[in-house]
């Protein structure tokens, strides 16, 4: 059987497509707002380079060497205790869990694309009402757009690596970049652009505490799609003789640049037309639409293309969140791609409906345990526990379990003199950082 592999550019686009997601355009700006701007951005850049880049190379290495689904790759590369290490591959489950709420959020974005064509809220208050009404009482609208997201994502997955995933990214990623760049260039012509630059780059170190630091590390992970085998699974379909370090560099570079460009653009609009750097998850769904309203008809246009870009970012990430488990059932159980894609799709679709219900008045109490409803629990368990844990496992696996000569043989020629520094970071800096993040997010420290 001929094995489908990404082309060189195809791989970079697909991996960057996975990395560039709601994390960059929706989450990064609002956490930057929460932690006061410049200093947080610098800490984030530092962790991306030191920790994110290291793990990215390690995760690519496992997939590239294993050439199979995550479970099989771990199993084959472990020199001993294969049955224990293969559990590392089940990190792919985290992706399916993330999809439970990710698909719902993509549904909200679809809804905003359509509604922004004719309507923008005239004040932050009104915008908030629009958003919370959808969230708490409009089950059918959310269900409808969640279904559209499910169908689209599942369809792409049934088409496989080449004509599904590679093709999707080939069209969506350049479009996304063009839209953001266009809006960014427009933003540079506005007076408030300098305010946005100042907000994002002049550090106020008094705002940095341990929580900001932990958030930055956690986000570096999420935004680069690390810790659950998405990058690993894609890397199994990398061309032979690929340069992992170069590929990792491009993915990190694109992901970071897009987050910064999106942040500068959004903050410019919020300074110019809105209420300044809004905080919290409502930033793109609440503050932004009311800022667009102030721009008149141009605002409708910007709102529509902005939400299209956001939807594209979400869709290309989604396929990477589901693909690890699809690959698993294909490789280990000989399922057809169709069967594997549809089954995994139905899994996140059905639980996604529960996630929608858990925000709807009348059902919310039923689906709330402790201080979180089902939607928030899924978000919390994946981001706070599963991803950092996955990253920890991968760092230990490549740093201590796989024989050093094996790692050296592939990566030393690519990393050159930086090899030892990378290896050290993987063995000591990364695991300690991940451990601290996990403890902190779980509320232990």
Residues that bind ligand TRP (CB under 6 A): 18-19, 21-24, 95, 222-223, 225, 227-228, 230, 317, 320-321, 387
Nearest residue (CB) to ligand TRP, 274 versus 314: 314
CB of 419 to ligand TRP, least distance (A): 26
CB of 122 to ligand TRP, least distance (A): 30
CB of 55 to ligand TRP, least distance (A): 11
Nearest residue (CB) to ligand TRP, 24 versus 215: 24
CB of 390 to ligand TRP, least distance (A): 8
Nearest residue (CB) to ligand TRP, 21 versus 36: 21
CB of 384 to ligand TRP, least distance (A): 12
Nearest residue (CB) to ligand TRP, 315 versus 407: 315
Contact 31, 40 (CB under 8 A): yes
CB of 63 to ligand TRP, least distance (A): 13
CB of 263 to ligand TRP, least distance (A): 13
Nearest residue (CB) to ligand TRP, 21 versus 38: 21
**Which two structure tokens, joined as six digits, stand for 87?**
């559990």
The residue behind tokens 């997939």 is 63
Contact 311, 110 (CB under 8 A): yes
Nearest residue (CB) to ligand TRP, 251 versus 402: 251
User: Distance (Å, rounded) from C-alpha 234 to C-alpha 6?
Assistant: 8
User: Distance (Å, rounded) from C-alpha 279 to C-alpha 287?
Assistant: 9
Nearest residue (CB) to ligand TRP, 325 versus 367: 325
Nearest residue (CB) to ligand TRP, 305 versus 387: 387
Nearest residue (CB) to ligand TRP, 218 versus 299: 218
CB of 98 to ligand TRP, least distance (A): 6
**Which two structure tokens, joined as six digits, stand for 270?**
């919020």
CB of 68 to ligand TRP, least distance (A): 19
Closest of 306, 267, 261, 270 to residue 291, by C-alpha: 270
User: Distance (Å, rounded) from C-alpha 124 to C-alpha 300?
Assistant: 16
SS (H, E, C) the chain: CCCCCCCHHHHHHHHHHHHCCHHHHHHHHHHHHHCCCHHHHHHHHHHHHHHHHHHHHHHHHHHHHHCCCHHHHHHHHCCCCHHHHHHHHHHHHHHHHHHHHHHHHHHHHHHHHHHHCCCCCCCHHHHHHHHHHHHHHCHHHHHHHHHHHHHHHHHHHHCHHHHHHHHHHHHHHHHHHHHHHHHHHHHHCCCCHHHHHHHHHCCCHHHCCHHHHHHHHHHHHHHCCCCCCHHHHHHCCCCCCCCHHHHHHHHHHHHHHHHHHHHHHHHHHHHHHCCCCCCCCCHHHHHHHHHHHCCCHHHHHHHHHHHHHHHHHHHHHHHHHHHHHHHHHHHHHCCCHHHHHHHHHHHHHHHHHHHHHCCCCCCCCCCEECCEEHHHHHHHHHHHHHHHHHHHHHHHHHHHHCCHHHHHHHHHHHHHHHHHHHHHHHHHHHHHHHHHHHHHHCCCC
Nearest residue (CB) to ligand TRP, 257 versus 368: 257
CB of 221 to ligand TRP, least distance (A): 7
CB of 315 to ligand TRP, least distance (A): 11
Nearest residue (CB) to ligand TRP, 23 versus 345: 23
């Amino acid at each position: 059987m001929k094995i489908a592999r990404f082309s060189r550019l195809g791989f970079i686009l697909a991996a960057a497509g996975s990395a560039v997601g709601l994390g960059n355009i929706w989450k990064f700006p609002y956490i930057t707002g929460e932690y006061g701007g410049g200093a947080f951005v610098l800490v984030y850049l530092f962790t991306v380079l030191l920790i994110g880049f290291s793990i990215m190379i390690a995760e690519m290495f496992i997939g590239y060497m294993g050439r199979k689904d995550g479970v099989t790759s771990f199993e084959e590369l472990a020199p001993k205790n294969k049955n224990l290490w293969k559990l590392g591959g089940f990190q792919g489950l985290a992706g399916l869990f993330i999809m439970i709420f990710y698909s719902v959020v993509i549904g909200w974005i679809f809804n905003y694309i359509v509604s922004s064509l004719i309507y923008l809220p005239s004040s932050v208050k009104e915008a908030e009402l629009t958003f919370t009404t959808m969230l708490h009482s409009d089950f059918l609208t959310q269900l409808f757009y969640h279904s559209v997201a499910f169908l689209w994502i599942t369809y792409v997955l049934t088409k496989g690596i080449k004509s599904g995933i590679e093709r999707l990214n080939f069209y969506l990623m350049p479009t996304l970049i063009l839209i953001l760049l266009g809006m960014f260039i427009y933003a540079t012509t506005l007076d408030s652009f300098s305010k946005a630059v100042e907000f994002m780059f002049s550090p106020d170190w008094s705002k940095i505490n341990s929580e900001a630091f932990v958030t930055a590390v956690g986000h570096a992970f999420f935004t680069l799609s690390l810790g659950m085998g998405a990058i690993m699974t894609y890397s199994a379909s990398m061309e032979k003789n690929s340069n992992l370090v170069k590929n990792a560099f491009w993915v990190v570079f694109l992901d970071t640049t897009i987050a910064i460009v999106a942040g500068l653009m959004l903050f410019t609009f919020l300074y110019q037309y809105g209420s300044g750097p809004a905080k919290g998850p409502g930033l793109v769904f609440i503050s932004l639409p009311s800022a667009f309203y102030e721009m008149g008809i141009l605002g409708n246009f910007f709102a529509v293309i902005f939400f299209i870009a956001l939807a594209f970012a979400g869709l290309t990430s989604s396929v990477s969140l589901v693909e690890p488990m699809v690959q698993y059932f294909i490789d280990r159980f000989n399922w057809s791609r169709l069967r594997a894609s549809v089954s995994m799709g139905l899994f996140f679709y059905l639980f996604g409906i529960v996630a929608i219900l858990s925000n709807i008045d009348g059902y919310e109490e039923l689906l709330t345990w402790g201080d979180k409803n089902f939607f928030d629990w899924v978000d919390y368990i994946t981001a706070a526990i599963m991803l950092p844990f996955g990253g920890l496992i991968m760092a230990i696996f490549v740093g201590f379990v796989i024989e050093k000569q094996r790692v050296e043989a592939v990566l030393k020629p690519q990393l050159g003199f930086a090899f030892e520094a990378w290896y050290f970071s993987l063995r000591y800096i990364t695991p300690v950082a991940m451990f601290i993040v996990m403890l902190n997010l779980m509320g232990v420290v």
